[in-house]
Amino acid sequence: GENVEQHPSTLSVQEGDSAVIKCTYSDSASNYFPWYKQELGKRPQLIIDIRSNVGEKKDQRIAVTLNKTAKHFSLHITETQPEDSAVYFCAASRGIGNTGNQFYFGTGTSLTVIP
Amino acid sequence: KAGVTQTPRYLIKTRGQQVTLSCSPISGHRSVSWYQQTPGQGLQFLFEYFSETQRNKGNFPGRFSGRQFSNSRSEMNVSTLELGDSALYLCASSLEQGSGNTIYFGEGSWLTVV
């Protein structure tokens, strides 16, 4: 099955700096890669996603890049703010026919933005 | 639209007991999946249902089971609870089945087994 690895497990940055979280996946058939943000005691919330036919996607201060050849994708947060502090999860998904909608998650990155 | 709703939010059970958790998906969503979240293992896929049929199952023992009703609501059951079953159980729904369909999580059910 798919294996998603995520690094680093913890990340501390100064407010205003950039943060980068990287994930690798093993299944070349994976074709959808969302990122979720989970604040303490809350549900994981989708912040950005990318599909395998796209190399980069940006939404304000957040961007995701995908390298299908190397099987890795990254989350970039620019101009970080204290409210960006949370745990971030990457995920990979593939579906063939009616095999369903199973996601494989990375182990999470705890981001702390220091004011 | 209301989000994914899970009940109960918190519960404490004793080893050996069984528990049933409930999930109401976003209106119109037909795919419901369940995940177990623990500090050590992260988010682990339990199973997914679509149109009352289990389409995928993760690597969990048979004590973990689920079902989906005709209105897309889903329940999961854990029998013969063990201490290691203590976790946050997250339900997620999506509009359709298949890859590339965003899943939206509920707030989860915190299960503590003592």
Give the angle A86-A50-A48 at the CA atoms, nearest 5°. Answer: 30
pLDDT tens, A34-61? 999 999 989 999 999 998 888 999 999 9
Over residues A89-110, the mean pLDDT reads 82
pLDDT bucket at B56, cuts 50 / 70 / 90: confident
CB atoms within 10 A of CB A18: 11
Lowest mean pLDDT among A15-19, A94-98, B46-50: A94-98
Peptide bond into A82 cis (omega under 30): no
User: Residue B95 burial by CB count (10 A; 0-12/13-18/19+): exposed, middle or buried?
Assistant: middle
Mean pLDDT of chain A: 92
B20 is written with which tokens?
């049933």
Task: Note the pLDDT of residue B95.
Answer: 83
Q: Which of A46, A98, A104 sits opposite B102 (nearest CB)?
A: A46
pLDDT bucket at B96, cuts 50 / 70 / 90: confident
Are A104 and B45 within 8 A, CB to CB? yes
Over residues B53-68, the mean pLDDT reads 93
Task: Note the pLDDT of residue A112.
Answer: 98
Using a CB–CB cutoff of 8 Å, tell me whether A28 touches chain B.
no
Whether B49 contacts B55, CB under 8 Å: yes
Distance from CA of B18 to the nearest CA of A (A): 24
> In whole angstroms, what is the distance from residue B66 CA to residue B53 CA?
10
Task: Note the pLDDT of residue A78.
Answer: 97
DSSP state of A54: -
pLDDT bucket at A94, cuts 50 / 70 / 90: confident
Residue for token pair 């989906």: B68
